[in-house]
Amino acid sequence: MGSISINRLSKQFGAAKVLNDIELEIQDGEFLVLVGPSGCGKSTLINLIAGLLKQSEGAICIDETDVSDVSPGDRDIAMVFQSYALYPTMNVSQNLSFGLEMKKTPKDEIKQKVEDVSSLLKIDHLLDRKPSQLSGGQRQRVAMGRALARSPKIFLFDEPLSNLDAKLRVEMRTEIKKLHQRLGTTIVYVTHDQVEAMTLADRIVILKEGEIQQIGTPFEIYNNPVSRFVADFMGSPAMNFVECVVLNNRLIVESADNKNELSVPLNDESSLSNMDTVILGIRPEMVTEPKPGSTGPFIHHFAFDVDVIEPMGADTLAIGRWNDVEVQARISPEAGMNAEKVFELQVDTSKAVLFDPYTGARVDFKPATA
């Protein structure tokens, strides 16, 4: 009813290969988010799904039918654009009904649909206005309403919240999520904002330079990143990366004066050999002020040179150096207020991940549990 199958899809613009061999199965009813840095190909991919671009190689199937030769208007897909693309000479009501009129829907049905959609999105008092008379947030709602009115099989969103101010963005994010829960229609959503990706997605697809890096649920991506790029891209503030050495079955983060050493015992099944260098990845929320209740093999303490304290309200970000590596820690606001130049932090390595220093690929390791 709205499943998409993308097989060996590639897109080239002249000499530039923008998408390379993309394989992706999107389930019916899924909220799939495509995320990645600028230029990774996510907008190209969504335009290919919509049929606005023709692929260079590969196939796109919707509900098991190859749609490569089907025009965008016949694919039963609706799209919300970053710039909203509202028809400027038509009022809101005409914008909402345009797609239905193209499909020759009976007039009373169109009227009902426009009423339903506009009251759902709370734009019913704006029906006679032209787009130039609306605020950014209102335009965004009309753009969504125009897509909704068509009751398509698939919704595509191309960075719809990028042009909104921060507060509105958060509100609309929740609205979109509620909409998805209510309608159950497949949504493919493109964003460069990883917070949007985490909060909205059933599954996330991370793209880099035209290739898929990882596909997974937000939980999987966050806790089980497959590469350093993914680990660095997802999560805000970003993960800390510290170089360390394997020595005698322990992971050592060395320090000149032996005072700030981190030593993580590895169990026997680790694939690492002695004297290997690896990159240890620890998220800032695992680096906190010492918590009295925390004990166990994963808890370590070390001293930290504070550079900047950034109060964020619920907690405080402390940025500083540990053995000349920049590290970000999430500490409580109280600890942040009392911070001295050098103070002691607690590191919880239970969720730490390891990466190859040259390829960035994830290295499996199992810290000793005892």
Partner 1 sequence: MDRTQRIVSARIGRVFIYALLIFTALLYLAPLYVMIVTSLKDIEEIRSGNLLLFPLKPSLYAWQKAWSSACTGSECDGLAPFFWNSLRIVVPAVAISTFIGSINGYVFSKWQFKGSNYLFGALLLGCFIPFQVILLPMAKLLAVLGLANTVTGLVLVHIIYGIAFTTLFFRNYYIGIPTELVNAAKLDGAGFIKIYKLIFLPLSKPIFVVTIIWQFTQIWNDFLFGVVYSGSGTQPITVALNNLVNTSVGGKEYNVDMAAAIIAALPTLLVYFFAGKYFIKGLTAGAVKG
We find the least distance from the C-beta atom of residue 91 to partner 1, in angstroms, to be 12
Q: Among 232, 199, 200, which residue's Cα sits nearest to residue 214?
A: 232
Asked if 336 interacts with partner 1 (CB under 8 A), we say no
We find the least distance from the C-beta atom of residue 139 to partner 1, in angstroms, to be 8
Asked if 107 interacts with partner 1 (CB under 8 A), we say no
Q: What is the C-alpha separation between 149 and 155, in angstroms, rounded?
A: 11
102 versus 312: smaller Cβ distance to partner 1 = 102
Q: What is the C-alpha separation between 181 and 31, in angstroms, rounded?
A: 10
96 versus 286: smaller Cβ distance to partner 1 = 96
We find the least distance from the C-beta atom of residue 79 to partner 1, in angstroms, to be 5
Q: Among 28, 20, 26, which residue's Cα sits nearest to residue 2?
A: 28
Decide if 217 contacts 204 (C-beta within 8 A): yes
Q: Which x/- pattern, by CB under 8 A, does the window 240-279 give for partner 1?
A: ----------------------------------------
We find the least distance from the C-beta atom of residue 157 to partner 1, in angstroms, to be 13
Decide if 158 contacts 43 (C-beta within 8 A): yes
Decide if 118 contacts 129 (C-beta within 8 A): no
We find the least distance from the C-beta atom of residue 135 to partner 1, in angstroms, to be 10
152 versus 216: smaller Cβ distance to partner 1 = 152
Interface residues for partner 1 in 138-197 (CB under 8 A)? 139, 146, 150
Residues 6+ apart with CB under 8 A from 120: 145, 148
We find the least distance from the C-beta atom of residue 83 to partner 1, in angstroms, to be 6
Decide if 244 contacts 272 (C-beta within 8 A): no
Q: Among 71, 73, 75, 51, which residue's Cα sits nearest to residue 62?
A: 75
Question: Among 103, 125, 291, 321, which residue sits at the site for partner 1 (rule: CB under 8 A)?
Answer: 103
Residue position matching structure tokens 């990466």:
355
Q: Which x/- pattern, by CB under 8 A, does the window 34-73 give for partner 1?
A: -------------x--xxx------------------xxx
Decide if 342 contacts 307 (C-beta within 8 A): no
Q: What is the C-alpha separation between 356 and 284, in angstroms, rounded?
A: 20
Q: Which stretch binds partner 1 (CB under 8 A): 77-85, 108-116, 338-346, 347-355?
A: 77-85
Question: Among 16, 38, 89, 358, which residue sits at the site for partner 1 (rule: CB under 8 A)?
Answer: 89
| Terminal Cα distance for the chain, rounded | 50
We find the least distance from the C-beta atom of residue 126 to partner 1, in angstroms, to be 15
**Angle at Cα 218 formed by Cα 216 and Cα 219, nearest 5°?**
95
82 versus 255: smaller Cβ distance to partner 1 = 82
Residues within the interface to partner 1 (CB under 8 A): 47, 50-52, 71-74, 77-79, 81-83, 85-89, 98-99, 102-103, 131-132, 139, 146, 150
